[in-house]
Amino acid sequence: MRFSKIVCTIIVCCAALLNGCKEYLDVTPDNIATIDYAFRNRNEAENYLFTCYSTLQKLNNVIANPSFTTSGEIYFPNDLTEPTLGSRQNEIGFHLIRGSQTTDDPALNYWNGTQLGEPLYKAIRRCNIFLDNINKPTDLPEFERNRWIAEVKFLKAYYHYYLLRMYGPIHLIKENLSINAETDEVRLKRVPVDEAFSYIIELINEATPNLPPTIQDQARSLGRITQLIALSLKAEILTTQASPFFNGNPDYANFRDKEGVRLFPDYDANKWKLAMEACNAAVEACEGQNMRLYEFIPPGNLPALPAELRKVMDIRQSVTENWNINPEIIWALNTTFDYQGMAMPRVSTGMVQNMGAAPGNFAVPIGVAELFYTRNGVPINEDKTYDYRGRFTILNVPEEEKNYLREGYETVKLHTGREPRFYADLSFDGSNYFGNGITNPGSMAFVQARGSASLAGPKDNIRVNVTGYWPTKLVHYQSAFGTEVSQVPFRLPLIRLAGLYLLYAETINEVNGPTADAYKYIDKVRQRAALKGVEESWSLYSNNPGKATTKDGLRQIIQQERRIELCFEGGIGWDLRRWKTMQQVLSKPIQGWNIRESDPLGYYRQRTLLIPVFGLRDYLWPIDYDELIINPNLVQNPYW
């Protein structure tokens, strides 16, 4: 990165912060003052604390999230006649699976802070300024000073971790350089990944004791860091370090800096044990604070819901429920999810006439729809009772599926006999939609996706979903898109309890193999989805009944379980990278239905939209070529 001498200036929060507004963490201040002024008293120091948080809030923008845009869960077309994300630049992350990444001004560049990327090294230096000066305010109580220091140490750790996931070996900015630093001092080297992991964990360990267990004053402080967040992130970081990409990766065994120092380690099984212990500590702490998996509590104005629909709402609202009352969300940020209209299916004539608010361009590939289990809780290609070969056969929706699908509607067999998460997460032609102003189970709207071109109109193509599947999970059921639009905001979770349970099960399996504890934490998640336990499901329904009894088999089950449970939430791309399975996942064509046809026989024909481009080099982001020129101590990531 371009290393300039540190200028003692800061950004000070605007007046809204001084009033304790609930959105204080959303504000990026813009007034300039000196360091001494910034830390002259408690109020000014608090403003600077919020400045350290400001970059964190920006990281919640999913279109700039490398994991959300490159996981293959959501496909975004590159031939729309108008930019529906605000600009063509905002689409850039989704197009990386086309092989468009370069070393000349890389997309989603968090090293430099260009091409939608945030300047994370700048954010780290802000944190260092805070830590160097927080001792100055004389009116700041010691307990509060300690809490603020802990929060900023956590933020500093998280910003380093974000870079580490993207780039592998990184610089560690432990302290800001002196204004008189020599040229050699600013030309930092990349450190081995284990050294970076150790430093990040050290910061989190230092921070955790002085953080509050939970937020008590939710109106003023929800979104700030807690012990539960720190413990859960520590579990995730150590699991990432133990995972195949960072632990004994043969593809990076010879990756060295210019002095010959190895930057990736040999395999160390003990890393999985450390990760398991961290997961256990996080789970115990969360449960000790009465956290639990979410269950939908219908408002008083809703009629009684059928059991199937109630289960769908348990799953769907676990993500979109108000974070004030959701007992499952461990960590979310203040910024709300801004793309509900991109995930909203076409369910009414009014919507079609007012598509500017809901173009529905977030398209889910058929391959992702096939990822979800059958109603028996096993993969569709393993269920011995499921007609996998005939899954594209057209049929009329039977009466027993009426709570999920429009009874009597013509659809494919693939859409019937599936688990509740399939119907909670996805909308597609013929699927019922609970919401958009209609919450009577007996009169639900249903999706009408056939003949998308004619619905959009002959003059443009911005109103189509090119695969025929929408990620309904990302739409609050009370949001309405019609001739008028009313969106109920929600915060997309960074960590929720279901994900932590599956992380714990993963580490248990890697350390001890299939055990009762490993099954226990998978089954907690499956039970909420109305599925039998892993052992029972595979023994009764799978054509590979022994799969759940081996470490390799259970590993595959856990990975699929995470991909289903956490689908569309912005984290699966990181999982696919740490597991070293992203190349395998993106080796398959991205396909959708033949959306321009109105007749079922024509509509339900697979068409290939894209063959993704993803090679070994794409596991890590490239460093901007200009940075290699500016800093001769830098080495580029392999294969770039």
- Residue 222, CB-side half-sphere exposure with 13 Å CA sphere: 16
**Among the listed ranges 273-277, 344-348, 446-450, which one has the minimum average pLDDT value?**
344-348
The string over 557-584, giving b where at least 16 C-beta atoms fall within 10 Å of a residue's C-beta and e elsewhere, is: bbbebbbbbbbbbbbbbbbbbbbbbbee
Instruction: Report yes or no on 607 lying in a domain.
Output: no
Tell me: do 415 and 477 sit in the same domain: yes
Tell me: do 514 and 379 sit in the same domain: no
Tell me: do 482 and 500 sit in the same domain: no
Instruction: Report yes or no on 189 lying in a domain.
Output: no
Mean pLDDT of 605-625: 97
Residue showing tokens 């945030």:
118
What pLDDT score was predicted for residue 586? 97
Instruction: Report yes or no on 238 lying in a domain.
Output: no
What pLDDT score was predicted for residue 179? 79
Domain residue limits at 475: 319-486
CA distance 134 to 146: 9
* 64 touches 108 (CB < 8 A): yes
Could you say which of 441, 456, 486 is where a domain stops? Answer: 486
Tell me: do 335 and 404 sit in the same domain: yes
Could you say which of 452, 468, 486 is where a domain stops? Answer: 486
Tell me: do 417 and 537 sit in the same domain: no
Could you say which of 468, 486, 504 is where a domain stops? Answer: 486
What pLDDT score was predicted for residue 1? 38
Tell me: do 402 and 438 sit in the same domain: yes
Instruction: Report yes or no on 60 lying in a domain.
Output: no
Q: Which residue has the higher pLDDT, 178 or 559?
A: 559
Question: Cβ atoms within 10 A of the Cβ of 601, count?
Answer: 10
Tell me: do 416 and 538 sit in the same domain: no
**Among the listed ranges 27-41, 148-162, 327-341, which one has the minimum average pLDDT value?**
27-41
Alpha carbon 55 to chain centroid distance?
17
Query: pLDDT, tens digit, for every residue of 231-244?
Result: 999 999 999 999 99
Instruction: Report yes or no on 269 lying in a domain.
Output: no
CA distance 342 to 351: 12
Tell me: do 376 and 401 sit in the same domain: yes
Query: Pairing relation of β-strands 9-12 and 31-34?
Result: antiparallel
Query: pLDDT, tens digit, for every residue of 137-174?
Result: 999 999 999 999 999 999 999 999 999 999 999 999 99
pLDDT band at 2; cut points 50, 70, 90: very low
Instruction: Report yes or no on 237 lying in a domain.
Output: no
Tell me: do 442 and 417 sit in the same domain: yes
Position 70 pLDDT exceeds 60 = yes
What pLDDT score was predicted for residue 159? 98
Distances (CA, A) of 318 to 254, 293, 433: 44, 8, 17
Instruction: Report yes or no on 30 lying in a domain.
Output: no
Q: What are the tokens at 114?
A: 């260009």
pTM of the predicted structure, to 2 decimals:
0.94
What pLDDT score was predicted for residue 353? 58
Strand, helix or coil for residue 115: coil
Domain count, the chain: 2
CA distance 300 to 59: 36
Strand, helix or coil for residue 245: coil
Query: pLDDT, tens digit, for every residue of 350-380?
Result: 666 566 678 999 999 999 999 999 999 999 9
β-partners of residue 32 are: 11
pLDDT band at 183; cut points 50, 70, 90: confident
* 448 touches 468 (CB < 8 A): no
Residue type for position 93: G
Cβ contacts of 498 within 8 Å, gap of 6 or more? 293, 318, 328, 524, 525, 528, 565, 566
Tell me: do 394 and 536 sit in the same domain: no
Tell me: do 447 and 581 sit in the same domain: no
The string over 187-225, giving b where at least 16 C-beta atoms fall within 10 Å of a residue's C-beta and e elsewhere, is: ebbbbbbbbbbebbbebbeebbebbbebbeeeeeebbbb
Tell me: do 481 and 504 sit in the same domain: no
Position 181 pLDDT exceeds 90 = no
Query: pLDDT, tens digit, for every residue of 186-240?
Result: 899 999 999 999 999 999 999 999 999 999 989 889 999 999 999 999 999 999 9
Instruction: Report yes or no on 103 lying in a domain.
Output: no
For residue 202, the surrounding DSSP H or E stretch is helix 193-207
CATH of the domain at 544: 1.25.40.900
What pLDDT score was predicted for residue 283? 98
